[in-house]
Amino acid sequence: MSGLAEALSGRRGPGVYRWESTWTPERVREPVEHAGWRFAHLEGTRIETALDLHEALEEALVLPDHYGRNLDALADVMRSMAGHQVLLYDTWSVLARADEYVFTTACRLLGERIVLLLRGDGPDLPGFVVEVLD
């Protein structure tokens, strides 16, 4: 069983996973939504700052209008977010290199409630260990 299928079947819980796949975001969306999960996608080539990240998350995850666009607000909104969501984050290395603290903190907050798939090459960040999803 593939790692994505394991996540969608509940055999893997929410978390942050490195995922290598050549599937387009629309191709990833198909099995995710077929399983009854919500799908969102971030293209990280233009996510260079904390504000860029929060704006992208606000749009991708359809966060409430009162979302404060900071890490505290992300923590608050994640506590109220229902599970069964996959967020595919392509080209995550841009923010990881530009602002390691914001990147790792946001990933940890997201990974507490959803399946966050980091796709593409990126730096090894001290203290930030993620499982590889086959």
pLDDT tens-place string over residues 38-93: 999 999 999 999 999 999 999 999 999 999 999 999 999 999 887 799 999 999 99
Question: What is the pTM for the complete model shown?
Answer: 0.95
Domain residue limits at 49: 3-133
Report how far residue 22's alpha carbon sits from residue 85's, in angstroms, rounded to the nearest whole number.
Answer: 20
Average pLDDT score over residue span 97-113: 97
CATH number of the domain to which 41 belongs? 3.30.370.10
**Which two tokens mark 3?**
């790692």
Of 105, 96, 92, nearest to 125 by C-alpha is: 96
Report how far residue 8's alpha carbon sits from residue 133's, in angstroms, rounded to the nearest whole number.
Answer: 12
Domain count, the chain: 1
Report how far residue 99's alpha carbon sits from residue 24's, in angstroms, rounded to the nearest whole number.
Answer: 27
